[in-house]
Amino acid sequence: MPCDPLRDLRAWQERLERLAAQGGGSAWDPPMDVFETPTLYVVTAEVPGLAREHIELAVQDARLTIRGERPSAGPETATRHYHQVERGHGRFQRTFEFLDAVDANGITADLRDGVLTVTLPKIVTTPRRIEVQ
């Protein structure tokens, strides 16, 4: 893969645009990786502290959407005053569109040790020779 010095800048720009669309502030955007093999697409997301019920996956055609929400650290009270809050919280949504069709019935999702792994099998078609009559 050729080196693209602007890739990180574009990634930050996309993140800032998502934050602006969500109203900025406490929006949280977990880091995600996407890779493929000849037969699969795999998406991994770092979502520490999220339970399975806080994550929603949807697939339509060759498009995967991952949504979730991590609750805030909690409100300030008479006995709790935050000096610093660095752990992001709030809602997030990411959509990935793949070049190859995916088998929606074969998709699996696993949440282990704060890492969500979604595996999407490709629909592999073999060329068929058609004889001209």
Q: In what order do the strands lie in the sheet with 108-112?
A: 32-36, 40-46, 115-121, 108-112
Exposure b/e, 3-35, CB count within 10 A at least 16 = b:
eeeeeeeeeeeeeeeebeebeeeebbbbebeee
Q: What is the reported pLDDT for 20?
A: 58
Q: At residue 100, what are phi and psi to the nearest 5 degrees?
A: -95, 150
Neighbours of 47 (CB within 10 A): 21
SS3 62: coil
Q: What is the structure's pLDDT at 88?
A: 78
Helix (H) or strand (E) holding 101: none
Residue type, 69: E
Print pLDDT tens along the chain (133 aa): 455 666 666 666 666 666 555 554 446 789 999 999 999 999 999 999 889 999 999 999 899 999 998 877 666 667 777 777 777 788 899 999 999 999 999 999 999 999 999 999 999 877 888 899 8
Confidence (pLDDT) at 1: 47
- In the chain, domain spans: 26-72+89-126
pLDDT at 81: 78
Question: For domain 26-72+89-126, which architecture applies?
Answer: Sandwich (2.60)
